[in-house]
Chain A
Amino acid sequence: KNEVEQSPQNLTAQEGEFITINCSYSVGISALHWLQQHPGGGIVSLFMLSSGKKKHGRLIATINIQEKHSSLHITASHPRDSAVYICAHDRGSTLGRLYFGRGTQLTVWP
């Protein structure tokens, strides 16, 4: 069983819709990462958070440490948001290793 579970696996939305991607994990962590991967492979770090909530532009990430759950929200979605969104954690380690979910493929139609 993967210790990082993401849902949904695939998500299709119309431009302007509010998007939520969920991530659940089963171990103690120091930090939870949200990553974005576009076709072609490059990965961009969106958020690293260990508590509460962070916001960058139209993206919001929240985490509930007690419930071992995090969500990534995209407000006013746009076709350029189409990508794979990956949740990852460090399992409480400081040794540069991340444990990844399988990703959520988001497609936003104009």
Chain B
Amino acid sequence: KAGVTQTPRYLIKTRGQQVTLSCSPISGHRSVSWYQQTPGQGLQFLFEYFSETQRNKGNFPGRFSGRQFSNSRSEMNVSTLELGDSALYLCASSFLAGDDGEQFFGPGTRLTVL
């Protein structure tokens, strides 16, 4: 079974631009969570989608948004990029709705904002 895939793996953008990151979960997984990892803040939760619905959202500004498609693939979008958005963005998928939902992580997208 293929693992979680994320595209692109690396991305360089300039301030003010927007970016879309993609995550394909493990086949059969319906929950997709997104996380941001920076040296200063560590791993922080962005949002979680289950069956195309955002069920949970972290403390990030509205510039960070996401969606999930009917095939469970998910995208996250960051508009009006700031230097501080430079980070590793990780998505994770899980099979169950919540209880005993072990999360399987993708390789991440490393975003650099210049």
Contacts and interface: CB of A to CB of B under 8 A. Distances in A.
Contacts of A31: 100-101
Contacts, number: 70
Q: Is the interface of B mostly helix, strand, loop or mixed?
A: strand
Contact of B102 (A48, A97, A101, A103): A48
Q: Dominant SS at the A interface?
A: loop
Interface residues of B, number: 31
Given A31-B100, A43-B90, A102-B42, A97 B33 contact: yes
A66 interface: no
A40 B58 CA distance: 25
Interface of B: 31-33, 35, 37, 42-45, 48, 50, 55-56, 58, 88, 90, 92, 94, 97-108, 110
Interface of A: 30-31, 33, 35, 40-45, 48, 50, 86, 88, 93-103
